């Protein structure tokens, strides 16, 4: 008598990964890659090898080096995560892609849209994953906001208003737009429903302390549906505020990132307009406006570190060969808006239009 059995599935080998950069953000990446079963951290590369060793601790078997070429020559490294200054993203990422490695790179994707396009084209040509670590997009709150907007739970988007202010570190080489706005722009890009996109941006800024660059800035974006998005970023505020309000035709959502007990609130309150089916401009004054005051719901969110979810998404994209939720093109769209905003800022806040390929 013979017995048949289903052969055991071969275990999936962890993806060999190297972290490039052991400064401010690199240790966070190291910690999350080390705790992920999908990856095996093999290298930590930094110009300051002693700093890299301190990050890893005295008992780590992860190798350290100051030489990027040494990491890229290792066939057991299939992927890299780059946490170096933005000005180095192009050469480091290009070197990794040309060595056949998948690439995760910190925000912004590159120092300019032209550089970012080089990375996207190189990754496409080689069939490799290029992912931008827009960390906030992987927070439980933003993932839920995306889910609600894509499902139409808020209705048509009427406005998006975001405030990101605190007494922050004035950067030496970039203004507050390039420092803080990438977070909000990446979130906007991530949560907007399909078919809704920015079509123009105007930016106003001020340098009240003589830093030589804008320390306070306001962005106004026109969306393709006629809706509006507004973003306030500020290094000079004595109070820290992290709030986003998304107003829809059905409901309005408030995200307060500094309120762990109630990060999201959804209000069934708003303005309704009753009018004939066919209406001309001359009849708009006859429309009936009513105010809706319904319940407020605070959805339960499971607290989870955003970087852990991001690392899992990186593994998924590599294994399936499909784009990550925040792929290179998402990073490119954010760069396009930042560059347009900088042009607007330099021209006194004039509205700058986007063409289709920029967003």
Mean pLDDT within 30-40:
96
Is residue 216 a part of any domain in this protein?
Answer: yes
| Nearest of 23, 31, 68 to residue 50 by alpha carbon | 23
Strand 252-256 to 102-106 pairing: unpaired
Whether 278 and 171 map to the same domain: the answer is yes
The strand pair at 236-248 and 157-167 is best described as antiparallel
Task: Give, in order, the Cα–Cα distances in Å from 181 to each of 96, 188, 215.
Answer: 27, 10, 12
pLDDT band for position 354 (cuts 50, 70, 90): confident
Q: Are residues 126 and 248 in the same domain?
A: no
Q: Is the pLDDT of residue 134 over 70?
A: yes
Residues 76 and 99 grouped into a single domain: yes
Check residue 84 and give its pLDDT. 95
CATH code assigned at 88 = 3.40.50.720
Strands in 83-150 per DSSP E: 102-106, 130-133
Same domain, 157 and 116: no
Q: Which of 147-156, 254-263, 276-285 has the lowest mean pLDDT?
A: 276-285
Is 3 a domain residue?
no
Name the residue with higher pLDDT: 339 or 296. 339
Query: pLDDT tens-digit profile of 209-257?
Result: 998 999 999 999 999 999 999 999 999 999 999 999 999 999 999 999 9
CA distance 295 to 280: 34
Co-location of 123 and 141 in the same domain: no
- State whether residue 265 is helix, strand or coil: strand
User: Per-residue pLDDT for 177 more than 60?
Assistant: yes
Is 194 domain-assigned? Answer: yes
Does the residue 2 lie in any domain? no
Is pLDDT at 6 greater than 70 in this prediction?
no
Domain that holds residue 165: 137-303+335-358
Structure confidence at residue 286 (pLDDT)? 54
Same domain for 149 and 86: no
252/229 Cα distance (integer angstroms): 14
Q: Is 46 buried (19+), middle (13-18) or exposed (0-12) by CB count in 10 A?
A: buried
Examine the domain organization and report whether 75 and 178 are in the same domain: no
pTM of the model: 0.88
Contact 20/81 with Cβ under 8 angstroms? yes
pLDDT beyond 60 at 7: no
Average of per-residue pLDDT across 2-10: 51
Give percent of the chain above pLDDT 90: 78
Residue 2 pLDDT greater than 50, yes or no: no
Residue 272 lies in a domain: yes
Confidence of residue 125 (pLDDT cuts 50, 70, 90): very high
Q: How many domains does the chain have?
A: 2
- Bridge partners of 205, per DSSP, are 217
What is the SS3 assignment for 47? coil
What's the whole-number mean pLDDT along residues 146-166? 96
Residue 160: inside a domain: yes
Q: How far is CA 68 from CA 20, 29, 40, 91, 94, in A?
A: 8, 17, 18, 11, 12
Strand partners of residue 252: 247, 267
pLDDT-derived band at 314, boundaries 50, 70, 90: very high
What average pLDDT does the segment 87-115 reach?
96
For range 79-93, the mean pLDDT: 95
Where residue 178 sits, what CATH number does that domain have? 3.30.360.10
| Residue 1 domain-assigned (yes or no) | no
In this structure, is residue 247 part of a structural domain? yes
Residues 171 and 280 in one domain: yes
Q: 1 pLDDT band (50/70/90 cuts)?
A: very low
- The per-residue DSSP string of 300-317 comes to ------HHHHHHHHHHHH
Please determine, for residue 258, whether its predicted confidence score (pLDDT) is greater than 60: yes
How confident is the model at residue 280, as a pLDDT? Answer: 57
Same domain (yes/no): 32, 176: no
What is residue 291's predicted lDDT score, i.e. its pLDDT?
Answer: 61
In this predicted structure, the answer to whether residue 206 has a pLDDT above a threshold of 50 is yes
112 and 148 together in one domain: no
pLDDT at 172: 79
105 and 202 part of one domain: no
Mean pLDDT confidence for 254-270 = 90
| Average pLDDT of the chain, as a whole number | 90
Distance, CA of 164 to CA of 88 (rounded, Å): 26
Asked if 109 and 196 sit in the same domain, the reply is no
Instruction: Say how far apart CA 49 and CA 305 lie, in whole Å.
Output: 28
């Amino acid at each position: 008598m013979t017995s048949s059995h289903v052969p055991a599935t071969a275990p999936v080998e962890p993806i060999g990964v190297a972290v490039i950069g052991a400064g401010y953000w690199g240790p966070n990446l190291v910690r999350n890659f080390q705790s992920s079963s999908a990856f095996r951290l093999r290298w930590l590369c930094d110009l300051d090898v002693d700093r890299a060793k301190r990050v890893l601790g005295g008992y780590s078997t992860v190798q350290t080096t100051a030489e990027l070429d040494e990491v890229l020559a290792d066939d057991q490294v299939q992927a890299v995560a780059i946490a170096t200054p933005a000005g180095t993203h192009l050469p480091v990422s290009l070197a990794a892609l040309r060595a056949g490695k998948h690439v995760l790179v910190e925000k912004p994707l590159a120092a300019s849209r032209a550089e970012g396009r080089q990375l996207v084209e190189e990754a496409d040509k080689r069939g490799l994953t290029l992912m931008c670590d827009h960390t906030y997009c992987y927070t439980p709150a933003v993932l839920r906001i995306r889910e609600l907007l894509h499902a139409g739970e808020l209705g048509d988007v009427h406005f998006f208003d975001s405030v990101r202010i605190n007494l922050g570190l004035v950067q030496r080489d970039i203004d507050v737009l390039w420092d803080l706005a990438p977070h909000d722009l990446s979130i906007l890009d991530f949560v907007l429903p399909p078919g809704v996109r920015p079509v123009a941006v105007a930016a106003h800024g001020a340098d009240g302390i003589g830093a030589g660059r804008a320390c306070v800035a306001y962005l106004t974006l026109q969306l393709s549906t006629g809706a509006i998005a507004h973003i306030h970023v500020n290094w000079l505020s004595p109070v820290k505020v992290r709030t986003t309000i998304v107003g829809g035709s059905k409901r309005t959502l408030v995200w307060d990132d500094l309120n762990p007990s109630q990060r999201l609130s959804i209000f069934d309150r708003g303005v309704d307009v009753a009018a004939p089916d066919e209406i001309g401009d001359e009849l708009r004054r006859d429309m009936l406006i009513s105010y809706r005051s319904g319940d407020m719901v605070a959805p339960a969110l499971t607290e989870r570190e955003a970087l852990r979810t991001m690392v899992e998404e990186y593994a998924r994209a590599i294994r399936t060969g499909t784009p990550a939720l925040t792929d290179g093109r998402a990073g490119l769209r954010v760069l396009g808006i930042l560059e347009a905003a900088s042009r607007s800022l330099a021209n006194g806040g004039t509205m700058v239009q986007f063409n289709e390929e920029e967003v």
